[in-house]
Structure 1
Amino acid sequence: MTTTTFTVPDMTCGHCEKTVRGALAEVLPGADVDIDLSTHSVTVTGDAATAEAAMREVGYSPERVE
């Protein structure tokens, strides 16, 4: 399974983290999601394009980390 890390600069609080986690769980059920709020980092297993689209859909601006 592919793992992708995103920087999400506009994810700034616990509510943001919960929203992002919920969006990812909805489109990638069972995916491993690791969020580090202090570095604005989201690491997720599964399809990167689906994960990125889900975060954008709920109002965030993810950028893939190469």
Structure 2
Amino acid sequence: MNEKTVLTVNDMTCNHCVGTVRKALEEALPGAEINVDLETHKVSFTGDRAKGEEAIREAGYTPEAA
């Protein structure tokens, strides 16, 4: 299932954060479509929502429903 998930990650504060979140999602969800927007603090991805949320948490950030 390639349902798109959109989350808010308010504790992303810089481009390094964006890279960390993107890398965590790429590793957890190979082949997923991923978009990370620092300005809006929105993260969207396709694939398993639970895996994506867990990857963001393990990277040290707090995903919330958008």
Q: Is the shorter-chain TM-score for this pair beyond 0.5, marking a shared fold?
A: yes
Report the Cα distance in structure 2 between the residues aligned to 1:4 and 1:64, rounded to whole angstroms: 9
Q: SS of 1:55's equivalent?
A: helix
Cα deviation 1:14-64 (Å, max 9, x = unaligned)? 000000000000010010001111010000000111000000001000002
Residue in structure 2 matched with residue 8 of structure 1 by the alignment: 9
Larger fraction in helix: 1
**Count of aligned positions:** 65
Q: Structure 1 unaligned segments of length 5 or more: list them.
A: none
Q: Which runs of 4+ in 1 moved over 3 A?
A: none
Identity %: 55
Q: Structure 2 unaligned segments of length 5 or more: list them.
A: none
